Structure 1
Amino acid sequence: MSLRDAAVAPLSRNEPNRPGALEEALDRVSGKWTIPILSAVRRPLRFTQLERSMHGISRRMLTLTLRSLERDGLVVRTVHPTVPPKVEYVVSGPGQELLDSLAPLIAWAERNRPLVEGARCAYRDRDVA
């Protein structure tokens, strides 16, 4: 058993072709728009409000990501019975828990960004010389 296999073994399922909870969670949060959308819908927003707040996302990608987040239970979609229909999106309890659990990672990334950028420059300069 490799070192990686030993480290991941307790986190993976016994079913060989089915990803474990950690792999599923990492797959879920690794999408480019997942975290920005979850952060934006900490308060209820209509689709157009969300679309205006997300710079650079296409309408189709926003729709697909919202559907995926709703499917996974990270976002709640509420349709209000009005004319025209009013649809709002808001982060769910598990979605908020996910955001809260990422706070230390975000803090680490912000704290270490200069160090990482410096290491990249040093690496690039080393290869050029």
Structure 2
Amino acid sequence: MFCVTCQVPTNKYKCPTCLESYCSLNCYKKHKEADCESKQSLNTPTSEVSHIEEPTLHEPFSTKDTVPRKKLEMLKDCAALHRLLCNPHLRNLLKEIDVTPDAWKAMKAAMQEPLFLEFADECLKVVEPQVADDCN
């Protein structure tokens, strides 16, 4: 990925409107001054914009480990996850994992954090309840 403004290689930040990558606050400000538009609104009629899925939720390469979308959506109603996500350290850890070029390495490191393990366990209780129950 390259910064949309200065073309420096980066994967640090993404514009919330158009999802283009940028490397710094200055580049973001320049990008916003250039009338940044949502990619969704450029390619889709306005009546359909509200029905578009978030890009990170697509399942382009399903495997035996892919969690079905309906189960993923159940996560948003889990009170224990909401409580855990109030922790800024956990949120920062999740953001780092999301933007790292080596996700496997980042996940391996995160699994050393008790807070992340608690988060992962709560997620598993929702998406694979029978497996989580068998482990207790």
- TM-score band by shorter chain is under 0.3
Report which of the two structures shows the higher radius of gyration computed on alpha carbons.
Answer: 1
After TM superposition, the score normalised by the length of structure 1 is: 0.23
After TM superposition, the score normalised by the length of structure 2 is: 0.22
Q: Looking at secondary structure, tell me which structure has more strand per residue.
A: 1
Q: Looking at secondary structure, tell me which structure has more helix per residue.
A: 1
